[in-house]
Structure 1
Amino acid sequence: MFPILILLCLWRLDGVFADTDAVESVSVLEGDSVALNSGFTEMMDYDLILWRFGAENTLIAEISVMADSMTVYDDVLDERFRDRLKVDDQTGSLIITNTRTEHTGLYQLQTNSVSKSFSLTVCARLPGPVISRDCSSSSSSSSSCSLLCSVVNVSHVTLSWYKGNSLLSSISVSDLSISLSLPLEVEYQDKNTYSCVLNNPISNQTTHLDISQLCHTCSEVHVSCCATAEAVIRLVVTALMGVAAAAAVVLLVNDIRSTRA
């Protein structure tokens, strides 16, 4: 099993970084459901329970305990929460179903006597990293093989090369929808195991390197292509010679028939 680098995703909230001592951090994979637990065993001790989201403290859920009513406001903020908000009728916990990355942010629980904050991170599902050969790399030599591990349209991830279980190199990004590439140089006869790992705080994807498949020499590639082209030419020439021979036989037969006549 390969080590997983834990990438701490930090978002700037209300102009400052959230205080990790006062904010409960929660992570979830995109598409899954998540519950922000109020910590209440029952709601009878509170007259009104409010759930707010984002830097502007937009009201997204309201529980009036005395009136025994619960209301979710899933049409706010461009309807990003449409049909995704629920409130636990026993504890007042907020439940978000079918999460998306745009649900990432700060959530606040407010009552007449209690205030709690949650920093929710919704991590996108990761694609498998792709390992490719780059014969045009200036760092390539007669004895080494230049490789690239690449991913596209990712955010808040770390891309890493491993030799066995040892980390060789890595690159992290917190921007949205960006493409990443990480180079690696290996020897043609290297017998070690290499892998490229893409991970976020809660999941990872690994692609293993097959040196024998990718790291044949560039000259071998050209020779192979030339050999293939030569074989095709030979087949074409042979076919043409066969057609010419058949035509000659037909002409000879016709000539013999005309002479006898």
Structure 2
Amino acid sequence: MFGVESPDEIIAEYNREPNTTSFNDERFKNHLYLNHQTGDLIITNITNKHTGLYKVEITRKTSVVIRHFNLTVNARLPVPVISSNSSQCSSLSSNCSLSCSVLNVRDVSLSWYKGNSLLSSISVSDLNIRLSLPLEVEYQDTDTYRCVLNNTITNQTQHLYNIKDLCQTRSADVYCCCGFTEVVIQLVISALVGVAAVAFLIYDIRSR
């Protein structure tokens, strides 16, 4: 028998006399095999839809034996992705904003480590479209960082050995904190001011 809260639905049944077997649940269609000699029930190609409470009931003429089993199935964890949220023109500070993220995970924890030291962690139990954990580091930092995604069974780790692989320092010749339109406006204004200054200088010379 199988059930999420209480196992009350028969999924497989074997009767020694008259030697019959039946399977009764669509969730287990083509997933079950019952060994007539030992009574073993084998679930193949198991997925998280098979998570739940199972009950085995063996009925004899003079006794009934009942056993309960709680099964939890976790999907394979993806490798987390580390990305930079900082652009060359995003800030005048020496810090870089990193983000570690994963998609479509549940019952997991996402953590940042600096060497072997835990920096921050976040946990979710429900299915999320995107789970993300931010981290601020310095551009010149030479320490090794890693982002770890784990559940009760296993984990996946993404390493960041060199901060400069993701965080690039701002070049001196880059117009920062401005979009393309703002840069063009500033250039036009500077040009007009320059022309006006030259015209005023020429007028002043001629008038003298």
Q: TM-score, normalised by structure 2?
A: 0.71
Q: Is the 8 A contact 2:86 2:167 kept in 1?
A: no
What amino acid is aligned across from residue 158 of structure 1 in structure 2?
S
Of 127, 137, 149 in structure 2, the residue corresponding to residue 198 of structure 1 is: 149
Q: CA deviation at 1:222?
A: 8.0
Q: How many residue pairs end up in the alignment?
A: 168
Match of 1:110, SS state, is strand
What amino acid is aligned across from residue 216 of structure 1 in structure 2?
Q
What amino acid is aligned across from residue 142 of structure 2 in structure 1?
K
Cα distance in 1 for residues equivalent to 2:146 and 2:124:
19
Cα distance in 1 for residues equivalent to 2:40 and 2:105:
31
Q: 1:216 — aligned with what?
A: 168
Distance 1:212 1:124, change over 3 A: same
Cα distance in 1 for residues equivalent to 2:92 and 2:109:
29
Q: TM-score, normalised by structure 1?
A: 0.58
Cα distance in 2 for residues equivalent to 1:102 and 1:206:
26
Q: CA deviation at 1:182?
A: 0.4
Cα distance in 2 for residues equivalent to 1:116 and 1:162:
43
Q: 1:240 — aligned with what?
A: none
- Counting only pairs closer than 5 Å after superposition, residues 128-143 of structure 1 correspond to structure 2 as 128-135=79-86, 142-143=93-94
Deviations 1:161-183 (A, max 9, x none): 11112222111111124421001
Of 120, 124, 130 in structure 1, the residue corresponding to residue 71 of structure 2 is: 120
Of 56, 63, 69 in structure 2, the residue corresponding to residue 109 of structure 1 is: 56
Distance 1:140 1:93, change over 3 A: farther
Deviations 1:102-140 (A, max 9, x none): 11111111223222222211111111111111127xx96
What amino acid is aligned across from residue 116 of structure 2 in structure 1?
N
Q: Is the 8 A contact 1:53 1:59 kept in 2?
A: no
Distance 1:149 1:224, change over 3 A: farther
Cα distance in 1 for residues equivalent to 2:134 and 2:128:
20
Is 1:53 the equivalent of 2:19? no
What amino acid is aligned across from residue 147 of structure 1 in structure 2?
L
Q: 1:185 — aligned with what?
A: 136
Match of 2:168, SS state, is coil
Q: 2:31 — aligned with what?
A: 84
Deviating beyond 4 angstroms after TM superposition, the runs of 4 or more aligned structure 1 residues are none
Distance 1:140 1:82, change over 3 A: farther
- Counting only pairs closer than 5 Å after superposition, residues 67-82 of structure 1 correspond to structure 2 as 67-73=18-24, 76=25, 79-82=26-29
What amino acid is aligned across from residue 65 of structure 2 in structure 1?
V
What amino acid is aligned across from residue 11 of structure 2 in structure 1?
I
Structure 1: segments with no counterpart, 5+ residues = 1-50, 226-261
Structure scoring higher RCO (CA < 8 A, sep ≥ 6) equals 1
**Larger mean Cα displacement after TM superposition, 189-198 or 174-183:** 174-183
Distance 1:114 1:166, change over 3 A: farther
- Report the aligned-residue RMSD: 2.6
Q: CA deviation at 1:53?
A: 3.2
Cα distance in 2 for residues equivalent to 1:87 and 1:190:
59
Distance 1:62 1:189, change over 3 A: same
Of 34, 40, 43 in structure 2, the residue corresponding to residue 93 of structure 1 is: 40
Q: Is the 8 A contact 1:52 1:109 kept in 2?
A: no
Q: Is the 8 A contact 1:129 1:206 kept in 2?
A: yes
